[in-house]
Structure 1
Amino acid sequence: MNSPSPDPLRRAAAWLGYGGLIPFIVLAPASLLDHHHGWTWSDALYGYGAIILSFVGALHWGFAMSAPGLEEVRRVRCLVWSVVPALFAWPALLLAPAGAAALLVFGFVAHYLLDRRLARHMAFPAWYLPLRLRLTTVACLSLILGAFVPLG
């Protein structure tokens, strides 16, 4: 008989999270190694980074709407913060790779730090913050690597 699967939510989040890293892992080296299309891959990398940063911001909207026991003031802060990552992401699309990387990496790191802070006031699953740290680290390293796209 098969043993019960360990925490299906954790497994699904891990599969989806790690799967979401594929564009980062593919596009960063492609922007550096494909000299003919490097800028195209770079644009795709920073476009994807902006989308994902906006997505992680929306997590706080969900927390504000559904987290049990969260104080009203924290709910409002979560709602306000939930739109801030998109406000970092959108102008990053208008910048050269180094500027885009800096803005997006700042947004990802700030979001992770706010997740850690919020974890003091609500019960995240034990796997959530370690997973978010791994995902944030790979995304940020990819964005930084992609900032070195060759000119011309």
Structure 2
Amino acid sequence: MNASDNARPAVVAWLGYGGLLPFVGTALLLWLAPGQHSRWLEMLLTYGAVILSFVGALHWGFAMVHPATVARPMNGMYAWSVMPSLLGWVALLVQPAAGATLLIAGFLVQYRQDLRLARVLALPAWYLPLRLQLTVVACLCLASVYVLGPGLPQGA
């Protein structure tokens, strides 16, 4: 890790935090516009599945280009990198509460994988703190399904 890795690029912050807007926006719409409840749920879960696929694919990218991976087999990283997209797909096929549970679990396991990756590869210093912040907000927004999902007790 070099000194330039300590400063998070501004574009990374803009894109990372900007990527939370669909999570926060649809979670708020669940509360504020209940007439379209099913639509907001579908949008929230679909976006969650897409983003879970994205963060999993980061491991494929690291396995391909990180200098520390040249001398070691990266089959495990390649295999892991597709698991979040498969989990996200399944999350879209089940009831909203079950789908939200799968997505939350997927984001948490993916963050754990990121921690494991950081023990093997030198990642930028800003990467894990940013991933943690984004993961927490995404999971909290997905958890709104438990409170506001159709067929779930209101206020539970």
Q: What is the TM-score with the length of structure 1 in the denominator?
A: 0.89
Read off the aligned partner of 1:83 and give its amino acid letter.
V
- Is the aligned partner of 1:138 residue 2:134? no
Read off the aligned partner of 1:23 and give its amino acid letter.
P
Read off the aligned partner of 2:30 and give its amino acid letter.
S
Read off the aligned partner of 1:72 and give its amino acid letter.
R
Q: Which residues of structure 1 form unaligned runs of 5+?
A: 1-5
Read off the aligned partner of 2:15 and give its amino acid letter.
L
Name the SS of the counterpart of 1:126 in structure 2: coil
Q: Match of 1:72?
A: 72
Describe the superposition over 1:110-130 as per-residue Cα deviations: whole angstroms up to 9, x where unpaired: 000010011011111111000
* Count of residues in correspondence between the two structures: 145
Q: Which residues of structure 2 form unaligned runs of 5+?
A: 1-5, 152-156
Read off the aligned partner of 1:35 and give its amino acid letter.
P
Q: What is the TM-score with the length of structure 2 in the denominator?
A: 0.87
8 Å CA contact retained: 2:41, 2:149:
no
Distance 1:118 1:126, change over 3 A: same
Q: Match of 1:3?
A: none
Q: Match of 2:47?
A: 48
Aligned-residue Cα RMSD (Å) equals 1.6
8 Å CA contact retained: 2:87, 2:102:
yes
Distance 1:30 1:67, change over 3 A: same
Distance 1:116 1:51 in 2: 21
Read off the aligned partner of 1:80 and give its amino acid letter.
A
Percentage of pairs with the same residue: 50
8 Å CA contact retained: 1:42, 1:149:
no
8 Å CA contact retained: 1:60, 1:78:
yes
